Amino acid sequence: GNTRLLSDAEREYRFYNLGFGYNLFPGEAFFKSWFSDKTYAFNSNFYLLAGAGATDFAGDNRFTATFGAGYQVILNDAVTMSLVFREHLYDIDVLGEEKTSINTELSAGLSVFF
């Protein structure tokens, strides 16, 4: 039916973390042009991430461990593209039984330096 387990305020999800990364495979990425025989080389980085923080959900604040990986391509001196995958793990007991929640985060970014 129409049973609400959490109030509107308890449904808000916030997380905070402090992470560290390690550049595992610095190198170059090669892309072939679709319109000609040219091949382009860009500096790239594959890195691992780990961190710790807190998750606020269901009126509770829980310790959160974070880990993941990312890939960055440096297009030129001012523009980079990145793709990052992270997992957030924390214990929660919304229904009375404590369980480990695993939240997946996937983000893509375009950075412009000036």
Residue 27 belongs to domain spanning: 14-112
pTM: 0.79
pLDDT digits (tens, 9 = 90+) for 4-63: 777 777 788 888 999 999 999 989 999 888 888 899 999 999 999 999 999 988 878 899
Distance, in Å, from the CA atom of 42 to the CA atom of 33, rounded to the nearest integer, reads 13
* DSSP assignment letter at 37: S
pLDDT digits (tens, 9 = 90+) for 49-67: 999 999 988 878 899 999 9
Q: Does 70 map to a domain? A: yes
| 33 C-beta neighbours (distance < 10 Å), count | 9
C-alpha 74: how far from chain center: 19
Q: Does 5 map to a domain? A: no
Q: Does 7 map to a domain? A: no
Q: Does 1 map to a domain? A: no
Distance, in Å, from the CA atom of 114 to the CA atom of 111, rounded to the nearest integer, reads 10
Secondary structure (3-state) at 108: strand
- What's the domain count of the chain? 1
Q: Does 2 map to a domain? A: no
In this structure, are residues 109 and 82 in contact, taking their beta carbons and an 8 Å threshold?
A: yes
